[in-house]
A and B are shown apart, each in its own frame.
Chain A
């Protein structure tokens, strides 16, 4: 796959393909770096690493901009993102947004927990921003069928103010009063939609 991409890139560079295809190949090459952790086609197989497939374009872009500015801190991400141009960031946003989102595991091993999570999601008004299907929109993340342990991690990061989540700091405020049980239930519910 990688060889093929390199080949495509080389072809594109010598100008045989039209410019658009060259852009596509270049961005796939950049996205190939992401695949190491975030998985082929943006579906993560790695613990604590989120799937990116089907995330809203703007959400991806914002996170990259936050990593680049250092306002979202992550040792793995920082060196990778430092060299990205605004143009790269836009292309990566479009690329991941166009991939097919992850699917829920075939069965819910704890429907009771999901039920609790569903109630917590209503009480905490998650759908107000993340939309009724939890697919997210614009700068707001897709949380539907995200990896369960990553959702737990993200909510804890917000709760402890390790992550603020953009200028409005809404997530920090929402997550702060969540109990560990609520976080577990929410994550389980959202990972099994």
Chain B
């Protein structure tokens, strides 16, 4: 009886498998002939639950299995970090060291007035404060349970944290690291999408914040209120739309020469390993449209979503950085420690690929370009975080200048902050 039963189960399983394979084929066929997506954005539900196909559903059979890799949950150990920094290649005279380990999922960094380094994080929901106690760094988790608090800023004694749909202000933050309290929401006119809902903050000379809004999917007709960059006054909650047609931007900086806002942008996935390129952009004038979803990398109409548009209609990128390099945090180098030719160059932290069979990025690039954005030149500044085709030792995601002119680099994979310095 029992063996017979097992046979039945096996047979059933076999039937299931065959049926499964058939369904998979049918699904694929359906994917290929799929018409333009249509979203019902008029309901509340749409705003609370983004379309369920933003992530899955665009891949071809050949691309199956490419997915964002997941790093070590507890970051890299001290021994692993010590081995890692030895593998990082830098130009002559530069040196990298581990500045602070144990900063899990570290994202954007901001300095407090009294020398505290604040660090946001990704899915963990933590915000950290790092104090430099005479060369020994103490990492303290000061906020917990926030919704992807990747972006933060420090202004007039207050720490600002952006957690998807809330910009929260914590007054007098450095004096209250042990108990920041609930904070005060100063701006919340933002959708609650988790997908591409994580943000970055760049502060301009007026104290307004440039904040990016990503669409909640890979590619599609963006719902109103996203695919844009806004400039927000944290004092009043007033906001202006400065750029449209932007996909996923998680980094930018104000040009110290012109006051204009430059930003990195992650292009759509699932076209191919080498297309389209991620971008470095500059907003020449308010209200420019940067092409998404109609046109990518300045010259590639989207195969499905061009919808009659030409690339010439849109603001071109300053520079195409490469396909799937994932540029995130960036800074103009305004310090005095690095050689003079680095002055006002842009340093970009590239998080590295997932939607590519051989990863690239996972490094820091240096872009040499004038304030007009013409004739840009890029070169690799720091590399060595990728091992083999699809292996990461770490993933740089933000850069900040230190007082002494060195730079700090956040890495959310290794859960660490590095320091890169120069001496002759």
Contact = CB atoms under 8 A, between A and B. Distances in A.
Contacts of A115: 12, 15-16, 19
Chain B: number of interface residues, binned into ranges: 35 or more
A119 B18 CA distance: 11
B370 interface: no
A119 B21 CA distance: 10
Nearest to A71: B125
B20 A122 contact: yes
For the side of the interface on A, what is the size category? 35 or more
Interface in A108-128: 108, 111, 114-115, 118-119, 121-123, 125, 128
Interface of A is mostly: helix
Contacts of B148: 167
Contacts of A150: none
B102 interface: yes
B9 A172 contact: no
Interface string A168-193: 11101110110000000000000000
B219 interface: no
Given A61-B73, A61-B74, A114-B16, A66 B124 contact: yes
Interface string A101-145: 000000110010011001101110100110000000011100000
A111 B55 contact: no
A70 B195 contact: no
Nearest to B5: A107
Interface of B: 5, 8-9, 12, 15-16, 19-20, 23-24, 27, 49-50, 52, 54-56, 64-65, 67-70, 72-75, 77, 102, 104-105, 122-126, 141, 144-145, 148, 194-195
Interface of A: 58, 61-62, 64-66, 69-71, 86-87, 89-90, 93, 107-108, 111, 114-115, 118-119, 121-123, 125, 128-129, 138-140, 164, 166-170, 172-174, 176-177
Given A86-B102, A107-B5, 15 more contacts: A62-B70, A62-B73, A66-B123, A66-B124, A70-B144, A71-B145, A115-B19, A118-B19, A122-B24, A138-B70, A164-B123, A166-B123, A167-B122, A173-B195, A176-B52
Q: Lowest 5 CB-CB distances: which A-B pairs, in order?
A: A167-B123, A139-B70, A86-B74, A61-B73, A169-B194
